[in-house]
């Protein structure tokens, strides 16, 4: 089985794939001070509750946008799972061309989303990832990554609104009961929800105007199902796209390593 680790700015997601489907998925808040032993104490219990054993994990891959978290995630794989993890960086064979000014600066999550989307759905396409930031990633008809746009995530906007305006409460995002809010909470929820729907629709419209043909629009990230309720923009809602990107990347590179091993020559 393959263990996939997606370390984002807000959460670290661990998921296990058995070669056919995902058999378990768990998340923990991102903390770059968390040690390999702390990851083990938490995740090994999760595996056991789902009928999985450490010995079931034969391979692992890590994708992270938090460099400080990499050391202990890698050490966890080595010390507790006894596997050497792949790391989703420029040293791997992506089989996926990125036509950007500085490919080394491209976040692993953005490249992974583009990789998974073009393999699953084919280009041209735009991936909208609702995470700590709201990322827009563009793939052309030939399956090449073209770049995109980055906007503040909705939860960052909620926090900024609360901190900058003393009388406005901190709140969670949700679809408002009405666009016209008759109290502060509904008014805030309306502005945040419909404001982000408008932001996404507007950016995708401008991106589409620069492309040769109309792209498919894929929504991913934890808030993708919520925002898909407010617009007909999305052709596909795929909350686990980054995990699929890590899986495809791992499968490609483990297969290449096996074909190049001395035993096969």
Give binding residues for ATP as ranges: 6-13, 132
Annotated binding-site ranges:
6-13, 107-110, 129, 132, 184
The structure tokens listed for 159 are: 């926090």
C-alpha 190/C-alpha 255 separation (Å) is 49
Annotated binding-site ranges for K(+):
129
| Set 72, 109, 140, 244: catalytic member | 109
The structure tokens listed for 162 are: 């609360």
Q: Interior CA angle at 244 toward 240 and 249, to 5°?
A: 150
Is 109 a residue of the active site?
Answer: yes
Answer for the pair 226, 174: CB distance below 8 angstroms, yes or no. yes
Of 18, 19, 77, the residue nearest 50 (C-alpha): 18
Annotated binding-site ranges for substrate:
107-110, 184
Dihedral angle, C-alpha 207, 212, 216, 218, nearest 10 °:
-40
Residues annotated as catalytic are 109
């Amino acid at each position: 089985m393959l263990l996939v680790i997606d370390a984002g700015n807000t959460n670290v997601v661990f998921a296990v794939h058995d070669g056919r489907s995902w058999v378990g998925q768990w998340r923990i808040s991102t903390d770059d001070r968390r040690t390999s032993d702390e990851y083990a104490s938490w995740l090994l219990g999760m595996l056991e509750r789902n009928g999985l054993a450490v010995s079931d994990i034969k391979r692992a891959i890590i994708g992270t946008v938090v460099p400080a978290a990499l050391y202990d995630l890698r050490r966890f794989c080595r010390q507790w799972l006894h596997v050497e993890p792949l790391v989703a960086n420029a040293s791997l064979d992506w089989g996926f061309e990125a036509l950007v000014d500085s490919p080394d600066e491209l976040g692993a999550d953005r490249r992974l989303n583009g990789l998974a989307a073009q393999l699953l759905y084919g280009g041209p396409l735009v991936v909208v990832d609702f995470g700590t930031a709201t990322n827009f990633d563009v793939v052309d008809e030939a399956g090449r990554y073209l770049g995109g746009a980055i906007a503040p995530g909705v939860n960052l906007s909620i926090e900024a609104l609360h901190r900058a305006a003393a009388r406005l409460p901190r709140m969670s995002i949700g679809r408002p009961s009405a666009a016209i809010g008759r109290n502060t909470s509904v008014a805030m929820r309306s502005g945040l929800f419909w404001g982000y729907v408008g932001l996404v629709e507007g950016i995708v419209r401008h991106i589409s105007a620069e492309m040769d043909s109309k792209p498919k629009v894929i929504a991913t990230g934890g808030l993708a199902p919520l925002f898909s309720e407010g617009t007909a923009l999305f052709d596909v809602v795929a909350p686990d796209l980054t995990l699929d990107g890590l899986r495809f990347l791992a499968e490609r590179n483990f297969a290449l390593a096996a074909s190049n091993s001395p035993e096969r020559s």
